[in-house]
Amino acid sequence: GAGKEAEKVGTYVLAQLDQAVAWGIPVEKLAGTDELFDDILDRNKDIGFITVTDLNGKRLHLRGTLPTQFEANLAPLTRETLQAKAMTPGRLGTVFLTKSLPIETKAGIVGVLHVGARADYISSQLQEVYYDLAIILLVSALFTFEILLYFVNASILRPIRDIHELAARLASGYFGRPIAPKARDELGRISMRLDDAVVGLRQQYEALAQAVTGWGAEARTRVSGTLEKFEYAFPPKPASIVSSGQQGTALIRIAVFVFSLAEELTRTFLSVYIKELFDPVPGLAMEVVIGAPIALFMLLWAVAQPFAGVYSEKFGRRKIFLIGAACAAIGLAASGLSGTLIHLLVARSITAIGYAMVFISAQGFVIDNTTRETRAQGMAGYAGGILTAGVCGPAIGGILADQIGFRTTFLLSALLAVAAAVMVYRAIQERPIHAQSERFSLASLGLFVANPRFMGVVLFSAIPTKLALTALVFFLVPLYLNEQGISQSMIGRVLLLYWLAMIFVSPVASNLSDRLGNRKIFVVAGGVLAAIAGVVAVLNTSIWSMVIGLTVLGIAHGLVMTPQLALVTTLSHGQTTKQLSETTVLAMFRLMERIGNVIAPFVAGLLLARYGYAGAISGIGYILAACTAICIILFVAFREPKAPVQEGRA
């Protein structure tokens, strides 16, 4: 038990101290005790503190955590030990079980060593196990859902849609495009039967066309009109098509989920890992320097996306996805092997470019494989994979960081990026780009800047949303909780609540905003709640304040996410931007909102250097409150025009 452990540690430490005092060194002047005690505390997590007192119970040396209310109890423990002249057990409230050992020389007792073992260590460890089991069950359920979703789509829904599409083509009189099923299950056999029937009709048509060539000129003239009608139905070369079960968006969702999981595994400890590699930079505070890798990652991600989009159209979605996944894997592995902050900056830059390539090519793939009517559903599935990874990643990453360390977790993340690339390489075939859509161009930037409604949402809703996400969830909260001695596993669980709240709230907010037709209510409500979350998170030092704060922040961002996208497409129907496509509007919006991701680490770092953790977190809340107030004023001052077409959701 805890008492036995305190006795074992106390006996070992006492042997080291006895050697020192035997040489005549006074107890109060013992050197190296801090290093000795720290090393022992690191190797014995159940020991809460080690302290040495004089004969009056006055503390001389202390390492570990001894609450101030217990310091007065050291004097009685010291007197008991002096009277017994031997090791004596004791208690400090219900928190510590103590062992007090006399430090003796030939002249007599010169001090007392006190070792305090945490009484609740075993129960707290069991509680940690219960938490981990609950997280594993939740993550397993989400993993299972993702896998089932893919197989249901690929094995059931997609083949049924293939059959439905074939029936529609046959009804329109076109027989030139078979299903070509890959599976040999019940639906696959039905598809094969239909293909066989189409092939049979083609053979009969070809036999008839061949027979006509031997007829006389007058007979051929009579049937020429009829044969021309069949040229559309039976083209000379049947069109081949990849089964939609293979080429559907379900596969890209699970690939994006696995790929997103690679980065999300590092979410709980990235800022702590950066802090470990910190090298002083003249003229810059440590907090600002720590934010540099996160800011650089977000900046390169934002800047690279438009260019990656152009290349994905030129060279194909699959090829750019594979190149991006390879870059991300190299960057993640290099991050885990980095020895300095400069090395980490280079590694994170490579990772950011890879992420930009992967996500823009995945979005392009969804656009290529959906119609305007099914575009929102495809994008929702794509976003669902990212959100699910946001739930699973921090929780798993926190556990892995505690068990195998930061660097090994980075290497596992690199393997996940490779796994996503393998999935896309094996299961997705390239689809040629026939006509390129309207490309992103910097010339479009001026059109958006001239639209006050659009820029109002971007500057005072979208950018603050990303600012809060990066500054709080990615930067300040992990550092703040780590500073309080919270384990990486627990930090992962706390961050998990943000993503869970988003997953549950976002679809509800999306449906309600569609029914009410008023996106502004949700944007304003989300902004108000986000501001409240920043203040509530640091009302006191209890972890429960942070739990409530992050949950409220997740609810706030869940309210904002989809209505914000629908709102900007509506607000873009102004005199200057009405001629631009929805894709261009969303591309420009995505680029602009990334400004919040880029500036967040620097804003958080400056606030942290000046006001500390609590002041920085609440300061972000006050910034969000000011932005929401301005957004409300702009909504009142500028009324958006009615959209000429029905809105969609992305």
pLDDT in tens, 550-589: 999 999 998 998 788 777 766 665 544 455 555 566 667 7
Helix intervals (H) in 106-185: 121-152, 158-171
Domains in the chain: ranges and CATH:
2-119 (3.30.450.20), 248-437 (1.20.1250.20), 441-650 (1.20.1250.20)
Using the Cα atoms of residue 129, residue 134, residue 135 and residue 141 in order, give the sign of their dihedral.
Answer: positive
Supply the angle between the helices 488-516 and 375-404 in degrees, to the nearest 10: 170
For 357, the 3-state DSSP assignment is helix
In 27-138, where do the E strands start and end?
A: 47-53, 59-64, 88-92, 96-105, 108-118
- For the record, the structure tokens of 219 come out as 């007979």
- Say if residue 644's pLDDT is above 50: no
Task: Give residue 83's identity as a one-letter amino acid code.
Answer: Q
In this prediction, residue 459 has a pLDDT band, given cuts at 50, 70 and 90, of very high
Which pLDDT belongs to residue 462? 92
- Say if residue 27's pLDDT is above 90: no
Count Cβ atoms below 10 Å from residue 514 Cβ, excluding itself: 15
Question: pLDDT: is 282 or 346 the higher one?
Answer: 346
For 179, the 3-state DSSP assignment is coil
Please tell me which of 137-151, 262-276, 293-307, 337-351 the model is most confident about, judged by mean pLDDT: 337-351
* 96 DSSP β-pair partners: 92, 118
Q: What b/e readout covers 467-496, taking b as 16+ CB neighbours within 10 angstroms? A: bbbbbbbbbbbbbbbbeeebbbbbbbbbbb
How much of the chain exceeds pLDDT 70, in percent?
84
User: Distance (Å, rounded) from C-alpha 535 to C-alpha 558?
Assistant: 19
Task: Give residue 473's identity as a one-letter amino acid code.
Answer: V
- Say if residue 176's pLDDT is above 50: yes
Structural contact between residues 476 and 608, judged by C-beta atoms closer than 8 angstroms: yes
Question: pLDDT: is 484 or 333 the higher one?
Answer: 333
In this prediction, residue 643 has a pLDDT band, given cuts at 50, 70 and 90, of very low
In this prediction, residue 442 has a pLDDT band, given cuts at 50, 70 and 90, of low
